[in-house]
Structure 1
């Protein structure tokens, strides 16, 4: 299945049916799991990111990796990452944690190598207190549908900056809507090297990989800054 050929729309039965015809086992399962057990539907960006993680699991191997999802919402991305073997911390605002905890527990208990954690994360607030850089190291930061017309884009950038260390990889699914989103990407690129790893024009969704600028790169026996 080529997701890029889908018409632009939100989550529909037609989209689910197309996923059923694909070979991505986890995505198939979650069509049923979310209908039966999950409160709320994830945004299309989350489904696209989950599909990418599963179908590119050799290149982006999450087994035993320390992963954090910011703005986890219904928790779909965190659940799929957990089932792919990651040690996941799913985060969101305090008022959303009850639903997030329910969804994560319902769909991962006794089903994954590492039981995921659910933790409060208000962007830009008490970052060092709740996620001290000396002890909180994440191999991957996952984000879907975190950039849109809201007043917390500055805080979101601060959060990316705090959580991302030299070897952390950000995988981020974004749907472009307004010029403000483009401005955020421009600001983001002052701190991070940004690479498009997959693009779905008909959905207006782009998947990015990002890493911190100025990190040390190891090539053979040479260290390059």
Structure 2
């Protein structure tokens, strides 16, 4: 089965991995039955698995978007004090001494962060180590599963159970004020992202993917690399990586295509101002179509570029980012053509950071497990490194994933991080 994909205006035929398909049925929620009946589910829906590994994170359904997809708001806690990434605090968190200082600071405060979480997990682990392992079997030798007591949900220990979810269903496509469902905006280390959990392939930018978390981890661990930079993110999606980058960088252009997606991204950026506000950074959501040679300057487009912004982009950008956007060969080609075109116009040497997840899929065409999208990505990397245009030299190298996690997700072995250094060649024209 194929699906039409058009990130950036075009469409191509791509095979949707069977392992990523999810079949949904219509669901109802009490008095909101009529509204829920209008939800659009399809059998070829692509489902992100990020939320599956956050059992203590509340996913609050708040509305339906313009195409009938349920929209959720999820809370992702940064596991260490976010303020260490501001311009006046500790620089390189990859340094062990700095990480110890941060942990001590967190342990001495009442903020919700990594220290308390890790401490609680360690207590549980200690109990597991000291408690004898006993397998309970019934009379027939089958495993006897102990059920939770009926009063478990009323336990005062909130760490033992997930938060109760009371969905707020708003009519299709309607905007909503965040304050209606939020309890406390004062938590400074908690990112709240509006997103979907299942979309067609053409709307996967509305979901949260592990590659964005991996890139965010790298930024938080190496904040000194990005202080005061002008950054361009391509395929920014929900804006999570740009929000984290804004804790250290000066200006971030978060780009994508599709008005519905970009509206969602802009709302996320506005509502997370508490994360990056103290750094004095600015995030601008702008359209960047990989299938077009020029930036959008149409004033009727709410996400068009002004002449001043285009000049700033080319005069000051020195970091480019992209998180998990390499799942279709045509889009991957368009991406590398776009960054080559942009780099050719930049005045400063630049570094590109790319996260990718190597997805293994069984295809009937080859009757084998393959990772065609990843293989094509690697070919594009090699082609970029082999470019000999006399203008720019590209150095491609993988980044070892030896830095700690700041965000809670499953860092699977298929996740990779790549760095591309673009060095302008200086030609000596003097006789």
Of 198, 213, 217, which residue of structure 2 is paired with 1:47?
213
Equivalence for 1:63 = 227
Q: In 1, distance between residues paired with 2:209 and 2:353? A: 16
Cα distance 1:87–1:20, how it changes in 2: closer, same or farther (>3 A)?
Answer: closer
Structure 2 counterpart of 1:4: none
For each residue in 1:99-149, what CA deviation from the matched residue of structure 2 results, as whole angstroms up to 9, or x when unmatched? 111111111274441221010011131336768689624110011011013
Compute the displacement of 1:82 (Å): 0.8
- Which of 147-156 and 194-203 deviates more? 194-203
The answer to whether the 8 A contact 1:70-1:92 is kept is yes
Query: 1:184 is matched with which residue?
Result: 377
Give the match's secondary structure for 1:73: coil
* Match among 280, 291, 308 for residue 124 of structure 1: 291
Q: CA RMSD in A?
A: 3.4
Note if contact 2:328-2:373 (Cα within 8 Å) is conserved in structure 1: yes
Once the two structures are TM-superposed, the CA of residue 68 in structure 1 deviates from its matched residue by 0.7
Q: SS at 1:49's partner residue?
A: helix
Task: State the Cα distance separating 1:66 from its structure 2 match.
Answer: 0.6
Report the CA distance shift for 1:20/1:99 in structure 2 as closer, same or farther (over 3 A).
closer
Kindly tell me: are residues 86 and 134 of structure 1, through their superposed partners in 2, closer, same or farther at Cα, counting changes over 3 Å? closer
Q: Please identify the structure whose Cα radius of gyration is greater.
A: 2
Shift of 1:216: 3.9
Matched length:
204
- Structure 2 distance, partners of 1:31, 1:134, is 30
The question of whether the paired residues in 2 share the 8 Å contact of 1:94 and 1:121 is answered with: no
- Write 1 or 2 for the structure with the bigger share of helix: 1
Q: Would the alpha carbon gap of residues 46 and 32 (structure 1) be closer, same or farther in structure 2, given more than 3 Å must change? A: same
Mapped partners of 1:172, 1:16: distance in 2: 28
The change in CA–CA distance for 1:150 and 1:24 in structure 2 (over 3 A counts) is farther
Aligned counterpart, 1:148: 327
Give the superposition deviation at 1:39: 3.4
Residue by residue over 1:49-102, the C-alpha shift from the partner in whole angstroms, topping out at 9 and shown as x without a partner, is 1011101113x2x22211010000000000111122331000000332111111
Task: Tell me if structure 1 keeps the 8 A contact 2:289–2:295.
Answer: no
Distance 1:21 1:118 in 2: 23
Measure the CA separation in 1 of the matches of 2:312 and 2:247: 27
Give the unaligned 5+ runs of structure 2.
1-47, 57-75, 86-112, 114-186, 197-206, 298-304, 360-370, 385-393, 403-410, 427-431
Q: Aligned match of 2:250 in 86, 93, 113?
A: 86
Which residue of 2 is the match for residue 23 of structure 1?
Answer: 80
User: What TM-score do the two structures reach when normalised by structure 2?
Assistant: 0.42
The reply to whether residue 175 of structure 1 matches residue 357 of structure 2 is yes
Is 1:11 equivalent to 2:204 in the alignment?
A: no
- Of 287, 290, 314, the residue aligned with 1:136 is 314
1:215 corresponds, among 395, 400, 424, to: 424
2:216 is paired with a residue whose SS is helix
1:145-164: CA deviation from partner (whole Å, max 9, x where unpaired): 11013532221111111222
Where in structure 1 are there 5+ consecutive unaligned residues?
1-8, 218-225
Q: Distance in 2 between matches of 1:157 and 1:12?
A: 30
